[in-house]
Amino acid sequence: MKLKYEITDIQHLVNPKLFRIRALRDIPSIWVKAGYLGGYVENENNLSQEGDCWIGNDAQVFGNAWIFGNAKIFDNAKIFGNAKIFGESFVFDTAQVYGYAQVFDTARVFGNAKIFDNTTIWGHSNAFENSQIYCSSSVNGYASVSGNARICNHAHIYGYASVSDDACVTGKTRIFGHAQVLENARVYGEASVCGSVIVNENMEISGSGKIETLDQIYYYGGVTIFFDRYDELIANGTTADIEHHKTLARLKLA
């Protein structure tokens, strides 16, 4: 197998453990020609010699981080710890992926986003701007996380769902379908939000309930919904009905 790159003696100005790479063959998929300089690695265990994976610009990969498949790391992105980036995924701008986080398939992490701990980002999902996803959370499908949003503590965002602005989704929650969580909203506990629900302003959803829609409904600020287990709030158009399965769910104005 012909080697794809070599490690030069060009040190990083701030982190002298890192050295630039140089392409030894063309990588047509990203217009890299043999002889082009790439980003920085600590050693050859950071970037596979196989596939079209590449580290470009001033991006840094170090520690036990591993880039393989056709993944691309560009700009000033940093990948470190035990992170793995693979598949057709991209990490660029000043984004950081570290800890035991994984980014794969065609997922994109960019802006100033941070992905860490045991988090996984995959499918066609995007994490960008100043968002942070951590503590064994996951984002997949066509979901997106942006703004200053925080996703943590085993939360799962998928489908076409989006979490943005200063929203926080934490605990074993699930946001999916075309649901949106935005502004200063919080979803936590083991709640599920799906369908076309829009959770916004200062709304809080907690417990083990499920909010879904047949038609789009907007929940505006100042509302807190507490669920007891097995209760469901089902929204039909602009009306909301509580179905009682075992115990009473409480809907109150904050």
Confidence label for 208 from pLDDT (cuts 50, 70 and 90):
low
pTM, two decimal places: 0.86
Task: Decide which of 87, 122, 157 is a domain's last residue.
Answer: 122
Same domain, 84 and 190: no
Same domain, 102 and 165: no
Same domain, 203 and 97: no
* Torsion angle of the four alpha carbons 45, 39, 86, 179, in this order, in degrees rounded to the nearest 10: 140
pLDDT at 120 over 70: yes
Tell me the three state secondary structure of residue 30.
Answer: helix
pLDDT, tens only, 2-20: 899 999 999 999 999 999 9
249 vs 138: CA distance, rounded Å: 28
Task: Decide which of 122, 137, 163 is a domain's last residue.
Answer: 122
Q: Which of 107, 93, 118 is nearest to 145 (CA)?
A: 107
pLDDT score at 128? 98
Query: Domain limits at 149?
Result: 129-254
Same domain, 32 and 153: no
User: What is the chain's mean pLDDT, rounded?
Assistant: 85
| Token pair 């063309």: residue | 26
pLDDT at 174 over 50: yes
User: Comparing 252 with 116, which gets the higher pLDDT?
Assistant: 116
pLDDT at 238 over 70: no
Task: Decide which of 94, 122, 150 is a domain's last residue.
Answer: 122
For residue 184, give the DSSP letter.
Answer: T
pLDDT, tens only, 28-63: 988 999 999 999 999 999 999 999 999 999 999 999
213-232 mean pLDDT = 43
Same domain, 178 and 238: yes
Same domain, 115 and 135: no
Same domain, 178 and 92: no
Number of domains the chain contains = 2
pLDDT score at 205? 83
pLDDT score at 244? 33
Confidence label for 210 from pLDDT (cuts 50, 70 and 90):
low
Q: Which of 47-51, 143-147, 203-207 has the lowest mean pLDDT?
A: 203-207
pLDDT at 245 over 60: no
Residue pair 221/201 in contact by the 8 Å Cβ criterion = yes
pLDDT at 219 over 50: no
Same domain, 114 and 159: no
| Token pair 């997922």: residue | 107
pLDDT at 215 over 60: no
Same domain, 148 and 97: no
Helix and strand element counts for the chain (H, E):
0, 35
Residue 108 bridge partners (DSSP): 90, 126
Same domain, 110 and 164: no
Burial of 225 (0-12, 13-18, 19+ CB in 10 A): buried
Residue 115 bridge partners (DSSP): 97, 133
Q: Percent of the chain scored above 90 by pLDDT?
A: 69
| Token pair 């925080």: residue | 150
Same domain, 76 and 182: no
Q: Percent of the chain scored above 70 by pLDDT?
A: 81
pLDDT score at 201? 79
pLDDT score at 79? 98
Burial of 184 (0-12, 13-18, 19+ CB in 10 A): middle
Q: Which of 44-48, 85-89, 141-145, 228-232 has the lowest mean pLDDT?
A: 228-232
Same domain, 89 and 144: no
pLDDT at 254 over 50: no
pLDDT score at 211? 64
